[in-house]
Structure 1
């Protein structure tokens, strides 16, 4: 189970602590799948604020599930993707780059499900790291 290294009130005191927490979480791993979702959201929001932009990769069972995940993450992180995606009847991978506006979906034959969030910074000293797989429904409750 990941440790939060947080203050007694359950908040992270630094971006480094939040990044450390996120690095330990992978919803594909049964040992970290049942993390405190509030702490997970808080850690992600803190790291996102410290980076310049993010790129999202979503692995989902259906296009509808993937779109719901993308919309919930995008709303939480103040993005508005343009979703002009093809109809796909099987498992799907959706990529969204808010900086370029690119959003596409393709068939996905892998077994992983979840959201990958790649935080990007303009400088090497900034946050340039990918986190996940995070829960598809992290921002839906």
Structure 2
């Protein structure tokens, strides 16, 4: 019965679900001389924790003098504003300004593009009409055979 209880406590221990009292029960069980053969493999874990618990360091721990933290948030805010300002400024400065000649060339290009689209649409309609002529030729060949 005790062995089943210890196994359940071990499972809960490895899942991190034990209380301090249950962990003390496990430590007491595994630090005694007689441990069940099925649980001997866990004995070094708890013996190691007992040894580590008794260790003490005699080394002096010197902490550096801490200076009061200066609030640097305003510096980051200023830097962010500068970055955003430079980005917006460079965007507006990089906008291309066309000369009168370039604007006329763009207008001529648009007119040419529209004329080509109109020509293309008319050619496509003509191509559709050719399919009817081809069908007519196939039907005529069948009739006169």
Q: Which has the higher strand share?
A: 1
Q: Which has the higher helix share?
A: 2
Structure 1 length normalisation: TM-score? 0.24
Structure 2 length normalisation: TM-score? 0.23
Larger radius of gyration: 2
Relative CO higher for 1 or 2, CA cutoff 8 Å, sep ≥ 6?
1
